[in-house]
Structure formats: structure tokens, C-alpha cells
Structure 1
Amino acid sequence: MAKVAVQHACTECGYAAARWFGRCPGCGAFGTLVEEIPPPAHGAARETRPILRLVDVTAEEAERISTGVPELDRVLGGGIVPASLVLVGGEPGVGKSTLLLTALAAVSRGGRRALLVQTLFSSELGSAPGSVAQVREAAGRLLRVAKETGVATVLVGHVTKDGAVAGPRVLEHLVDCVLQFEGDRYHAHRVLRAVKNRFGSTNELGVFEMTGQGLTGVPDPSEVFGRTVGGEPGAAVACALEGTRPLLLEIQALVTPTDLAMPRRVATGVDPKRLAMIVAVLSRHARVALGTADVFVNVAGGVRIDEPGADLAVALAIASAARGAPVRERTAAFGEIGLTGRLRPAAQSERRLEECGKLGLDGVVAPAGTPARGKLRVEQAETLKQAIGAGLDAARGEDS
């Protein structure tokens, strides 16, 4: 009788090895490798299909299925595609089940059949339900069923302490779409992003609000996240672009003296490396003294922004906090900052200006060459130093 092959798989990243390790070579976690027995091989031969050249493949545009949740449809690219496999990840309690139950109810009311399954596992595997082998096997079987029957399937998963979808990495490669549901369970607003999407853009963003009746979409998030109180130093409004949706976001900054040899640069909602670069450019080219100060930056509402078009608003908020001078009231900012201190134009500036005008702002600080739109006043600047001079209300500053 042949000896049964045994492998050890990491419960964090899915790394598999023939022997046990105390520390996973894949992700570096300790004590995460568990013993697993692979499923027996099936002797039934599969039906072979002819090999086709790419020019002979006929591409058909599938009709998407509306989930009944406009914000979810936006992130998916217009609705869920038949025969697709979608993975939704998020922290426990963020609202994954609430979102999908709302979508299932809307789909059912539309006359389509929907099935909710709590847990799947294979009795052919020796490992417990939820293990790496079980997750991989169940996802593979669901993928085959979805493709063969044309049934759209949605999987739900948790995230690790690093924010990645829990389970083997191969799971993200198997599915067609990976959605990340972000937000603090103690705050009302949630953000849905597409990390991977074979049928649409990964730059779209959906915003939800958790209410007593469940999750409701926020059709105009700029009205929620772009509110500021006039005359407050350290607050600026950024006009960021998430996919096709312009967003007005409040950027908050705090600059405090420090006795530490290495001043802190703490970012919430902003890339820490991007923040370090902006602080360096402010110190070198805009003459904002930050070498002996801690800098804290936060994006209000728990939203995360990664696009470089928000650089100028972050710099204005930091300069405002450092000099004690508020940003001019009813004024937003957008633009990319270069290492030389020059401003680079942001993509789709017309859409950003349109969003600013729609919410009743009076002015925008933007890179030189940005076209004016309507009654909106555009303060053009070639360098970061000029932008700070145009954006700050020096007459109301503490240091003026």
C-alpha cells in the first residue's frame, strides 16, 4: 500500500511544504503551519476540448445582473456578471453580511433565484473546515460550478491583521473579482473598493452608511466628507478622484514641537511614504520649518486616498497647522507635488472643478494651466511656495 503523502500548509498565506517549519518561509508567521492530507485523485477522465487560437475566440458581452444596490453595482462595473466568482473581504463586524443580504433581497424581489450557504467543506479532506486545504478545495469546486452552470457566486472572507484577505493567496487568483469592505465598526460610514476586477475598473469606490435599517448608499459622499469649519488652522479640502468619481475630502493636520531625535510623521488615510516626501518638499522648497516638529495627518471620515492629486491639499493642511494660518474659506485644492517643489497637473481637472462648483465652493488652488470653469475662481500656482501663499489666509494667522 502506497504511503499517504502529507503536506504542511500555512494558515496565513497558504504556503505548502513537505515538512513542518516553526516559522513560515512564505510570510514569516510563527506556528501557522498545520498538517494536511491532500484529497484522493479521481480516476475519471475529463472531457478534452480543442485548442483554439486567440483570433478564433469569440468574445461575447454578458448582460450584467443588477444587485439592487447602486453603490455595489458601481464598484462591480455595472452589476455582477453571470458565471463570475466574487470574493468580498473585510474585518469582522464591518457589514459584509449586511451588504450581501441586502443585495440578495433585492435580487430575489427582481424575480431571480438566490441561494445562501453558510459553510462549505469537503469530507474527502482530512483537515477541519476553514483550513487552507478546505478553502482552496471549496473555492475550486465553486468556481467550476459557476463556470459550468452560469451562476454568479459570491464568497465572503475575513481579513488578517495586515488588512489582506485571509486564506491562501491562491484564492485571490482563482476568483474574478476581489472587493474590500473597509471602515471602523464604531463609525457609520463604510467604503467598498475593488482590489481586482476582470470585468471592470479597480478604481471605483462605493460609500455606505450603517443605519438602523441596514446599509444605505451615499450618493454624494463629498457632502459628507468635505465639510470643514472656517477659520480652523490645519484643515484643507482636497478634491480627489476615485475612478470616475470626484470626492471632496477634509484633510486634517497637526504640527507640534518635539524633543525626539527623529520627529514623527504619522499618517491616517494617506500613504506614509507620500507624507514623508511632502514634508521634505515643504521644508526644502516652501521654507516651512518642520525639522523639530511632529506631523500628524488624517483624512476625515476614515477614507483612504492614494492618488497623487491630493498632494497639494495635504501640503496646505500641514503649512496651515505649522504657521497657524487657516486655509481660505470655501476653497479646495488639488495637484501633484514634485521633488523640485513644482506642481504637476492632476488628471481630469475639469471633473474636479465641476464637483467643487456643485458643492458651492468659491475657489480652487490648482497647478498652472488648469482651465477655469464657470464662476469658480481658480488660483493657479507653478510652485508649492506660490500655492501656499495663494491658499492660506495670512491675515488671520497666529504668526502673522
Structure 2
Amino acid sequence: MTALSDLFPDGSRADTSGGARLDDRHTVHRLREMIGEPRDVRGVTRPIADTDELIRRVEAASKNAVPVADESGDVARPVKRSRRRFDPLTTIAGSLAVVAVLAAAAVGGVQMATASPAASSLTALEDDEAAIQNGLQSLTTTRDRILADVESQTADAALLRGALVSTSTAPDPASDREGVIDVTDPAVLAPALAALDAYAAGLAAITVPEVPAEYSRGDIDDESLEDVAKAIDTAQERLLALDSATAEMRSIRTQLDALRPPAELAVATYAATFAGAADAAISRYPDADASLHTALTEAAARIGAGGLWGVAGEAALASYRDAFVAVAADQLRVDIERADEREREQDNRQPARRPDSQQTTPPEDTTEQPPPVVETPLDPDTGTTPPEGDGTP
């Protein structure tokens, strides 16, 4: 490729106003070397179509054309429906159906017209009596369930309280007498016991009323509208009494259901402290066997997972107490062994004392000593020594 200096030897600012003659062919040649051949801007021309061939094809198509037939006139007309023929069997069946409907309507109308008012009232009385029986059964079932729940919950509260108290302390392994150690923190146990006491007091305060007496219809005349009306009034009064008793039972059930949650919350809070209490016991008795530490930790975990209610809770508390006592006893064993070891070491460090064979026991002094002089007291009245003897002055 040629550089621009070859095209413009005089430089980019050469003055061309002097009328110097330019070599166009030389310039075009140089530009073609730098840029390339000029492009053809004209489009590609296509050959002219063969007109004769096109005319020939059009004429051939017109000769071979086939006219299209119009088939719109050949559409089939709808078939005319034939006339219905008279069917005697169908007519008779329809007539009988109409007669049956009319007869039923007539019988119903006659019954309604001739019905006794007492019979209609008796039907209403029977409906009320059925409602009384159902309500009485439901009320009896509710009362029995409330009584059973009160009894079972009272037993659960008493069982749990006894277990909490009995497992809160244990005999002290380091005491020869009736000494005890605290298995659980009394300050943490106190709220749980207070909640259980309030729970038991609330259960004892619940009073369940008796169920109304059984309903029985009196001797009435079923055909007498007055007797049936009086029986209906009595049944309605019994229904109102059952409704009132049912509402009272629901109130008692609500009262019973509200007693247990506070106690459960307090007991659950107390159960959650056993894990920390086990860690504190392990820190308090660090020299006990590792297996005993593990047993204590597992017992605390069972209490936290299973809770304290029921027989299972009582067993979990007893297991924790036994594990706690085992850890304390093993720590005492280690302490005693260490004390004995220290005593043996002290005995080994001190030299053994041997008795002197030449040392004799000093003889006892057998010299008789004179008896002590007894001073006679002076008479406080005369200032003189009283005479000897038993006489009086």
C-alpha cells in the first residue's frame, strides 16, 4: 500500500492555488491502490421474460377449462312428518293416572277437612316429648363427664404434688443420722406447689347439680283437646328447665377447663429447670463417676421431654432423685479416699518413735505430809473464838 506522503509529496498544507497541473490518471491509479476498485452501484439486471411462452400457456389453460356445475338446486328437502295415529293403550294409561291423582287429592282434602284438632296437637306433644328425652340424655352424659374429669384431675394433682414434695429432698450420704440434702431448689419448687394447691382448691369448689327427674306423660284423653294442650304446656316447661340446666352445665365445664392451664404452665416451668439443676449438681460433685453424671443428665432430659403429670412423671422424678443421690454418694466416696490417702502420706513422712530402754519411771514420793491446819472462824457477835463442843453459848 502506498503512503499518503507519496500522494502528497509537498505535504498536507501545500498550496495548490498556483495553478499546478494535476495528473488525474496518476491520482486515480494511486486511489485504486489504496482503496480498491470502485463498486458498481447499478442493480443486477434480469433477463426479459419470454412473452411468447407466457402467451402460449395462457391459451392452453383457456382451452382446457371445464365449467363448474351449480349444485344448489339439488339440496334435499326435509321429509314431511307423518300424522300420528290414535293409540288406545296410551290414552287409557294417561286417563288412569289422572284419575289416581284426583282421587288422592280428594282423599287428602277429606282427611284435612275431617281431622281432629286434638290429633294434630297430640303429634306436637309427641315431638316435644322426644326433644325432652334427647335433652335429658345429653345433660346426663355431660354431667357424668364433668364428674369423671373432676375426680381424675383431682387425683392427678394430688399425685403430682406428692411426687414433687417426696423427690425434692433425699437422705444425705454424708450424714449418719436423719440428715437430708436438697435435690431441687426450694425457691423454684414453691411456685409449682402453689399452682397445684390453687388447682386442687378450684376442683374442690366445683359443684355439679343433679339432673332433672325423668319425664313421663300423665293420664290424658287423647281425643280431648284441653288435656292435650295441658300436656303440651307441661312438656314446654320441662324443655325450658332442661335448657337452663344445660346452660349451667356448660358454665361448669368452662370453669373446669379454665383451672388446669395455669397449673400446667407452672409445672412445665418447673420441669424446664431440671436440665440446669443437673448441670449444677455435676459442677457441685465433679469427682463422681462419669457414668453417674450421664445418668443424671438423661434423667433431667426425660423430665423436660415427658413432663411431670401422671405415673410417668412420678417415675421420672424418682429416677432423677436416685441419680442425684448416687452422684452425691460417689463424690463422698472419692472425698473419703482422698482423705485416707492424705493421712497415709502424712504418716509415711513422720519418723516412727521408739521407746528408750534405759529410761526409768521416777519413784513416787512416800514422805508423809503434815495434816492441814484448820482455822476456827470468829463469832460475829462477840468477836471471839467460840468454845469447842456442841453446847450453845
- TM-score normalized by the length of structure 2: 0.18
Larger Rg: 2
Higher relative contact order, chain-length normalized (CA < 8 Å, sep 6+): 2
Report the TM-score, using the length of structure 1 for normalisation: 0.18
- Of Structure 1 and Structure 2, the greater helix share is in 2
